[in-house]
Homo-oligomer: A and B are copies of this chain.
Amino acid sequence: MTIVGLGLMGGSLAMRLKRDGAARRVVGLVRRAETAFAAERLGAVDRAATDPAHALPDADIVIFATPVRVLMAQLQAYAPLFKPGAIVTELGSTKRAITDALSRLPPHVYPIGSHPMCGKETSGLAAAEATLYEGATWVVSPLPRTPDGVIAVVEALARAAGARPLTLAPARHDRLVAAISHVPYLLSAALVLAAESVAEEDETVWRVAASGFRDTSRLAASNVAMMMDILLTNPDAVAEMLGRLRRQLDALGEAIAGGDETRLQTLLQRAADRRRRLYPPAIDD
């Protein structure tokens, strides 16, 4: 098996599979020699290479764990190197654009999309950990041409990483993930930018920031290049979800400005009830 990219996602997956002996042999393909050296020294992989010709032709499974638009370019560039019969998958955060790229792979390989629903606002191999995928939902997005046996292999990979596989068609995945991942990121960024605009007039704003601001703004610290790839390969769903969000914010803003307590109470209570059902407080809270 070869993992392309040993950042947070690829590095964590390699570490997990190595830790449990779940893969016969884990090879890493990276851009920089330092990363290859670091990955081997950490024991994250059996072998790391910087030359695709030394990492791809022997692999039964190739897993791309690079940023979305990078991996779309790599899929095309590396296509001639894939072994006949190889399973080609990826861990990208959007699925429609990647599925288009996967569908253009030669007929002698088996492409299938996937997306583990986890991450951190830190990135890179230094942030990787074998437990990253534990308990996470791992979306599997087969193409029409993907055989059932290949779906089963990727589901087994997800389980080996400690995750729970969930099959979703690419367009459905992209809509749902826009709602619970891409838009929350944009919200966090917009919140920080709005506070920054206040800070330009009154720096004291940062001194009154407490845990509420800290948590709501956490995603704003995500890797910008990675998030740009995600947003720009999912513009329709992001626009739809931003519209839904704006309507809710407008409804809340109007209820406050108009002093409409009944309406405000109804909206806020609905949000509170749902949030508490999704994440019940711990017994000792």
> Interface residues, chain A, CB within 8 Å of chain B?
117-122, 127, 136-137, 139, 166, 168, 172-173, 175-177, 179-181, 183-198, 202, 204-224, 227-228, 231-232, 235, 238-239, 241-242, 244-249, 252-253, 256-257, 259, 261, 264-265, 267-272, 274-276, 278-279, 281, 285
* B207 and A231 within 8 A (CB): no
Shortest C-beta distance, A145 to chain B (Å), equals: 24
**Copies of this protein in the complex:** 2
* A279 and B214 within 8 A (CB): yes
Known contacts A188-B271, A192-B275, A193-B267, then 20 further A-B pairs from the complex at CB < 8 Å, ordered by chain A residue: A166-B208, A176-B208, A180-B195, A181-B212, A186-B249, A187-B187, A189-B267, A193-B248, A193-B270, A196-B274, A198-B244, A215-B219, A216-B216, A216-B218, A220-B272, A224-B265, A224-B269, A232-B261, A238-B256, A246-B249
* B285 and A256 within 8 A (CB): no
Shortest C-beta distance, A181 to chain B (Å), equals: 5
CA–CA, A274 and B218, complex, Å: 11
* B213 and A181 within 8 A (CB): yes
If A179-B194, A192-B271, A228-B265 touch, does A184 touch B202 (CB 8 Å cutoff)?
A: no
Q: Which of chain B's residues have a CB closer than 8 A to the CB of A198? A: 175-176, 179, 241, 244
If A193-B267, A216-B215 touch, does A206 touch B278 (CB 8 Å cutoff)?
A: yes
CA–CA, A238 and B259, complex, Å: 12
Shortest C-beta distance, A266 to chain B (Å), equals: 10
* A202 and B176 within 8 A (CB): yes
If A139-B208, A208-B117, A213-B181 touch, does A264 touch B188 (CB 8 Å cutoff)?
A: no
CA–CA, A253 and B178, complex, Å: 13
Among A246, A264, A278, max chain B CB count under 10 A is at A278
* B220 and A275 within 8 A (CB): yes
* A184 and B196 within 8 A (CB): no
If A208-B137, A249-B187 touch, does A221 touch B275 (CB 8 Å cutoff)?
A: yes
* B220 and A219 within 8 A (CB): no
Q: Which of chain B's residues have a CB closer than 8 A to the CB of A259? A: 232, 235
* B184 and A271 within 8 A (CB): no
If A176-B202, A194-B179, A202-B172 touch, does A252 touch B186 (CB 8 Å cutoff)?
A: yes
A197's nearest neighbour on chain B, judged by CB, is: B244
Give 25 A-B contacts (CB < 8 Å), ordered by A residue. A117-B208, A118-B211, A122-B285, A172-B204, A176-B202, A176-B205, A180-B205, A187-B191, A187-B249, A188-B275, A192-B275, A194-B244, A196-B271, A197-B244, A198-B241, A206-B278, A214-B278, A215-B216, A217-B278, A220-B275, A223-B272, A231-B256, A231-B264, A235-B256, A239-B257
